[in-house]
Amino acid sequence: MPLANRQSERALRALEKFYALSLDDELSERTPGEASGRAVALFHEVRESVPAYRAFLAERGVDALKVRTPVDFSRLPTTSKKNYHQAYALAELCRGGDLGTSDFVAVSSGSTGEPTVWPRFVSDEIGTAWRFEQVLSDGFRADSRRTLGVVCFALGSWVGGMYTIAACRHLAAKGYRLTLVTPGNQRAEILRVVRALGPLFEQTVLFGYPPFLKDVIDAGVADGLDWSAFGVRLVTAGEVFSESWRTLVCERVGARDPVRHTASLYGTADGGVLANETPLSISTRRFLASRPEAARELFGEPRLPTLCQYDPKHRYFETDGDELLFTGDGGVPLVRYRILDRGGLVTHEAMLSFLRDHGFEPTRDLAPGREARALPFLFVFGRGSFALSFYGANVHAETVSVGLERPELAAHVTGKFVLEVTTAVDENAELSLAVELTANGTATEALELELGRSVRAELERTNGEFLAYVPAERRTPRVRLLPLGEPNYFPPGVKHRYTR
């Protein structure tokens, strides 16, 4: 059978299952070892059908026929954007070496500004559609309420907006009372469509990056918009935020129940939506927000990561040290793929046991089934030493370095810096940059402003995501000049981390 026909059959099977099977049935079918067995089976299918992965294994001397068990699978070399996606021709990453087996491409922007292209086929959207269904059904009850979905992600070739539209239209076709409108990240247009269409629905769901949605909400308040009249729910992606932020934005829109009226998605351009917040994970995170020692015991740090649950049949996760790996099907199937995100995994049973030991019964106030599903947990701190997310755009340390290297600026600074997203007044996100002075350097306001302008110019020049996602008034980092060897940011004798 021609490869294109096999792809069509794969899509038809996935679509038929999605439309016929309830979410409860899909998420309740679990047997021990099922997820790892699926991962091993996918490995062999990818090895046979994807030329790039065959070459990847051959170059590393892997005898694929000896990979039979989950333990064998765990010894396979890991793939990454650098050693896999960028090392082979785009078509070779697809089944049969044919880009035509995909019907769509998504684009993400790397540290150089060069777009990274991720092909996919309609069947690849179904796993993500299940994640959207879990969010919209379990917390928002959109299966029974007339719902307006306002897509506030950037549109065009960027991945977030188009993926959201595709997944949610599958839900509408499945029978959800869901109508979409797509103003993208145009603030005035978002407010216009909410005013015009919101009164026709029982609830309005805003999909977008957390700091941008807060900007939209605040702009609406300033313009006299009564958000509480629209039954607002929030679906966010891309960034870690605090529980005080969640509480604040819920108060601003009149959402009385942060546990059931918000949800964050954990997704990437390469893997789609990998996991999602649930009422159970949100109530757990809110409990830990005021208990930093318990958070440190569970996550290894007192600060809170994004905490989600995931379906191991959709994405098979592993950890390598404190880095996450996943295996999953797609237009470019990925096996033991290194996302470069720091995080970890906790089984459902271990999480509930930990919480009970700390005096919290998370399922007590949740409806059984849809609100307290027995799925494993995943926590994510974000990228490691080289990138962070701001308004959904990856901001890379390499780009910031270039902004500090202009000759008239470089004489004053060592080149070391720490980039972080901080919370400014009123829970607004801010790009903050601590920069180390040379031994003879002097901190002046003029130098800080010039460094901020230079870094902004470089980010705008090279990073298409940054230009598309971050509002103009938020693009200039707030620079602080610190003395050489300042112990909190630039301790001597320690490997330097460029992001926090």
User: What domain count does the chain have?
Assistant: 1
Q: Does position 109 have pLDDT exceeding 80, yes or no?
A: no
**CB 218 within 8 Å of CB 240:** no
Please report, rounded to a whole number, the percentage of residues in the chain having pLDDT higher than 90.
Answer: 61
In a domain, 419, yes or no: yes
Number of residues written out for the chain: 500
Residue-level pLDDT at 425: 81
Residue 467: give the domain boundaries.
390-482
Alpha carbons 239 and 305: distance in angstroms, whole number: 10
- Scan for tokens 């529980």, then name that residue: 243
Write out pLDDT tens, residues 31-82.
767 899 999 999 999 999 999 999 999 999 999 999 999 999 999 999 999 9
- Scan for tokens 């031994």, then name that residue: 439
Alpha carbons 11 and 445: distance in angstroms, whole number: 58
In a domain, 416, yes or no: yes
Q: 384 falls in which pLDDT band (50, 70, 90)?
A: low
Task: Read off the pLDDT of each residue in 90-115 and give the average, rounded to a whole number.
Answer: 81
Would you tell me how many other CB atoms lie within 10 Å of the CB of residue 356?
12
Q: Which H, E and C letters describe 99-140, residue by residue?
A: HHHCCEEEEEECCCCCEEEEEECHHHHHHHHHHHHHHHHHCC
Q: 327 falls in which pLDDT band (50, 70, 90)?
A: very high
Q: Note if the pTM is more than 0.95.
A: no
Residue-level pLDDT at 114: 66
Q: Does position 272 have pLDDT exceeding 90, yes or no?
A: no
Closest residue by Cα to residue 235 from 326, 169, 161, 155: 161
Q: Which residues contact 57 (CB under 8 A, 6 or more apart)?
A: 47, 64, 77
Residue-level pLDDT at 6: 73
Q: Which residues contact 100 (CB under 8 A, 6 or more apart)?
A: 4
In a domain, 431, yes or no: yes
Structural tokens at position 293 = 């020692």
Residue-level pLDDT at 111: 43
Helix ranges, 21-124 (H): 23-28, 34-49, 51-59, 70-74
Would you tell me how many other CB atoms lie within 10 Å of the CB of residue 453?
14
Task: Read off the pLDDT of each residue in 398-402 and give the average, rounded to a whole number.
Answer: 82
As beta bridge partners, residue 265 has: 237, 276
Residue-level pLDDT at 112: 45
How are beta strands 316-320 and 306-309 bridged, if at all? unpaired
Q: Does position 239 have pLDDT exceeding 80, yes or no?
A: no
In degrees and rounded to multiples of 5, residue 471 shows phi and psi of -55, 145
Q: 122 falls in which pLDDT band (50, 70, 90)?
A: confident
Task: Read off the pLDDT of each residue in 222-241 and give the average, rounded to a whole number.
Answer: 93
- Scan for tokens 């990437």, then name that residue: 268
Q: 374 falls in which pLDDT band (50, 70, 90)?
A: very high
Write out pLDDT tens, residues 461-491.
878 888 889 999 999 999 999 998 899 998 8
32 conformational bin, left if phi > 0, alpha if psi -120 to 50, beta if neither:
beta
Task: Read off the pLDDT of each residue in 384-388 and give the average, rounded to a whole number.
Answer: 67
In a domain, 420, yes or no: yes
In degrees and rounded to multiples of 5, residue 361 shows phi and psi of -105, 95
Alpha carbons 40 and 335: distance in angstroms, whole number: 9
In a domain, 376, yes or no: no
Alpha carbons 259 and 253: distance in angstroms, whole number: 14
Task: Residue 457: give its domain's CATH number.
Answer: 3.30.300.30
Q: Which residue would you say has higher pLDDT here, 96 or 27?
A: 96
Q: Does position 494 have pLDDT exceeding 50, yes or no?
A: yes
